[in-house]
């Protein structure tokens, strides 16, 4: 059995730097009040000795775990197959890593998992939570609130529990949908259909509302329900062609849905964009640039939204340190941030 060298201690760092143990503790824990020259000596000693702070001991002092739960209200088969989630998680991870925080991913495969997630959050393992992809009547918001952890939500909340301190990050789904449909109408398309996402999510409901804003009074409504997947786009496209064989444009609720619709149009011999123009939503490059032809779509900054969610949470944690209510929103933290969208024109429209 190979003997391992003992880990450098706080006292060893203090001796090497020629300062007190308390000074080393303040520098290591990021506290203020240490002169720059002393702080530099401590940091050099930490590097020379290879000292690694004891997280458990540090959390007793700072009451922080430097860990954030990321809760995606979807089964793992969806999270790991859809590039949307990869981009959102990448943004969150980059921001947390930049601030030396650990990401703890929690997924909800089914309703039975909600209680498990609630228990974990209430157990004091993390400083806060980032929650996204919520569905209507999802119990997660209530569980998070009961757990008492500061939280930022991804997407406009669809509940009203009398609280005005819910912090969320979203994109302008309704405005982006309006721009997409106006673009199709501006191309001279008259029979414009919409394939929705799951309407128990606010993003899909808002995109349907944007479609209706533009198409109200423009004849029979051509809407088929999808589920933000390519398979759902295929099924909805077949349904729409049965109902309106001469439709000449489709606004799909996301890029995966648009990719499925394009496959069906190709199977049915419909030329894109000559016969049918298609616009998606998201601008996920692994999808939008690889469809045939490349997809015109509404761009939302998915990774940027993830970074902003994490930034707002960490800012609230920093400014709420020592506050009587750790879940309260910091005075200058916005309750809701809605980011703009942009139409990206490619070959399908």
Q: What is the mean pLDDT of residues 200-207?
A: 96
Which residues in 186-204 are b (16+ Cβ under 10 Å) and which e?
eeebebbbbbbbbbebbbb
The single residue listed with the structure tokens 């009587």 is 324
Of the listed ranges 36-45, 125-134, 169-178, the least confidently predicted one is 36-45
Cis-peptide into 188, omega within 30 deg: no
Residue by residue, DSSP assigns 199-219 as: TTSHHHHHHHHHHHHHHTTSS
Looking up tokens 């099924």 gives 235
Q: Model's pTM, two decimal places?
A: 0.80
pLDDT band at 235 (very low <50, low <70, confident <90, very high): very high
Between 268 and 31, whose confidence is greater?
268
């Amino acid at each position: 059995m190979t003997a391992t060298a003992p880990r450098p201690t706080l006292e060893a760092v203090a001796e090497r730097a020629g300062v007190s143990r308390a000074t080393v503790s303040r520098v290591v824990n990021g506290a203020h009040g240490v002169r720059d020259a002393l702080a530099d000596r401590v940091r050099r000693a930490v590097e020379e000795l290879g000292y690694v702070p004891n997280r458990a001991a540090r959390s007793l002092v700072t009451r922080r775990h430097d860990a954030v739960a990321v809760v995606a209200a979807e089964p793992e088969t969806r999270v790991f197959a859809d590039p949307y989630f990869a981009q959102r998680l990448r943004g969150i991870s980059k921001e947390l890593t930049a601030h030396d925080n650990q990401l703890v991913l929690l997924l909800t495969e089914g309703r039975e998992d909600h209680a498990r997630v609630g228990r974990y959050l209430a157990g004091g393992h993390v400083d806060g939570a980032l929650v996204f992809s919520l569905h209507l009547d999802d119990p997660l918001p209530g569980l998070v609130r009961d757990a008492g952890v500061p939280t930022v939500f991804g997407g406009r909340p669809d509940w009203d529990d009398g609280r005005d301190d819910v912090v969320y990050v979203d994109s302008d789904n309704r405005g982006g949908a309006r721009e997409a449909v106006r673009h199709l109408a501006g191309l001279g398309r008259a029979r414009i259909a919409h394939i929705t996402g799951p309407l128990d999510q606010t993003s899909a409901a808002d995109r349907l509302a944007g479609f209706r804003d533009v198409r109200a009074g423009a004849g029979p409504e051509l809407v088929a329900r999808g589920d933000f997947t390519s398979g759902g786009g295929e099924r909805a496209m077949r349904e729409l062609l049965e109902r309106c064989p001469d439709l000449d444009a489709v606004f799909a609720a996301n890029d995966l849905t648009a990719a499925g619709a394009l496959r069906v149009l190709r199977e049915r011999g419909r030329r894109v964009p000559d016969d049918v123009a298609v616009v998606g939503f998201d601008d996920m490059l692994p999808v939008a640039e690889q469809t045939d032809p490349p997809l015109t779509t509404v761009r939302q900054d998915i990774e940027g939204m993830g970074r902003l969610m994490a930034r707002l949470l960490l800012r609230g944690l920093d400014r709420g340190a020592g506050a009587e209510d750790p879940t309260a929103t910091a005075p200058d933290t916005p309750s809701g941030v809605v980011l703009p969208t942009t139409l990206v024109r490619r070959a399908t429209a």
